[in-house]
């Protein structure tokens, strides 16, 4: 079995961290849109074929949730057709495909955390295209790990954490949706958990010649609302920020408080699930993964940012 690992979406939040966490596993090649156009399915297949990896980690996706409502075909090509092409190549060679999915495949009407066997019912184009990608991978016959996660953020890139800090420097008060709930998940924590899972997959493959395969939820533990997440960001920032700090992760904030509002008070082109909390029980049972609480992850992320 080849110890080559191909990462797509290298410059994304998760992909950037994967390059570091997966480096000990073998010969890692990370590519982004400047190396392969995900809308060119022949180029996608050729890239996988030429590198001949034993593992492909697909961290690339069309993630502009609201914009997808007006670009459904582009979102479907990147989120469904491209993963299907990668899966076909993996099925041909026996490689393992790791693919990241989303809580947006659910409609959010369940009061309890979602389990892997719960019915899917996406509310948005983005959710529909991500579900189509999951289904194409499952139908391909390739060994696969589909990891559904939620509310991913990082200290780099475009995401909720950085948006909150940007707004808090300009406004005296922030207004954020308080009736949608999920588990904010740090991209580095997700990449580190992926590395642990793949290490155990490699052990199993070495022992049996087979890959484990299935769909799993993988998020931080606990739950909060967008308003609660924003308030926690302000609190952690204020507590950890050095008094003489400057720059993006050091300058003082004007806003100290977040006012929760309803989904109806903040209309968006794409509908979001009210409940995005996913259960990690299956990934814990299969791989021994214990994800930390979202607030603990947030503090580690902020500490990492303020050290820079």
Q: Which residues are catalytic?
A: 126
Q: How far apart are CA 305 and CA 75, in angstroms?
A: 31
**288: Cα separation from own chain's centroid:** 20
Contacts for 157 with CB less than 8 Å, ≥ 6 apart:
12, 13, 16, 187
The 8 Å CB, 24+ separation contacts for 232-238 are 232/295, 232/298, 233/161, 233/164, 233/165, 233/298, 233/302, 234/164, 234/168, 234/174, 234/258, 236/298, 236/299, 236/302, 237/165, 237/168, 237/302
In a 3-state reduction of DSSP, which class is residue 79? helix
Residue 121 vs residues 111, 127, 254: alpha-carbon distances, Å: 15, 8, 40
In a 3-state reduction of DSSP, which class is residue 289? coil
CB 41 within 8 A of CB 82: yes
Q: What is the DSSP string of 168-187?
A: HTT-SSEEEE-S-EE--EEH
Contacts for 1 with CB less than 8 Å, ≥ 6 apart:
54, 94, 205, 206
Strands 181-182 and 224-225: antiparallel
**298: Cα separation from own chain's centroid:** 15
């Amino acid at each position: 079995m080849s110890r080559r690992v191909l990462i797509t979406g290298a410059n994304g939040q998760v992909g950037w961290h994967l390059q570091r966490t997966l480096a000990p596993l073998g010969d890692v090649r990370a590519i982004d849109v400047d190396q392969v156009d995900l809308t060119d399915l022949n180029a996608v297949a050729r890239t996988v074929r030429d590198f001949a990896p034993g593992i492909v980690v697909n961290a690339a996706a069309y993630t502009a949730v609201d914009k997808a409502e007006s670009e459904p075909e582009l979102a479907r090509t990147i989120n469904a057709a491209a993963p299907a092409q990668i899966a076909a190549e993996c099925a041909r060679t026996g490689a393992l495909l790791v693919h990241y999915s989303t809580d947006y495949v659910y409609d959010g009407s369940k009061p309890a955390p979602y389990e892997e066997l719960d019915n899917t019912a996406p509310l948005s184009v983005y959710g529909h295209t991500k579900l189509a990608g999951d289904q194409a991978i499952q139908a391909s016959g390739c060994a696969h790990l589909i990891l559904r996660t939620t509310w991913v953020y990082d200290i780099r890139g475009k995401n909720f954490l950085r948006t909150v800090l940007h707004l808090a420097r300009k406004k005296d008060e922030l207004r954020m949706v308080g009736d949608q709930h999920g588990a904010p998940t740090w991209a580095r924590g997700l990449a580190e958990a992926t590395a642990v899972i793949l290490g155990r997959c490699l052990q199993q493959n070495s022992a049996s010649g087979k890959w484990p395969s299935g769909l799993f939820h993988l998020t931080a533990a606990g739950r909060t609302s967008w308003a609660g997440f924003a308030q926690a960001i302000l609190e952690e920032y204020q507590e950890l920020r050095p008094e003489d700090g400057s720059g993006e992760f050091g300058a003082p904030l004007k806003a100290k408080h977040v006012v929760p509002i309803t989904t109806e008070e903040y209309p968006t082109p794409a509908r979001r699930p009210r409940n995005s909390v996913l259960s990690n029980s299956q990934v814990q049972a299969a791989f021994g993964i214990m994800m930390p609480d979202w607030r603990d992850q947030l503090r580690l992320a902020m500490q990492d940012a303020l050290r820079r």
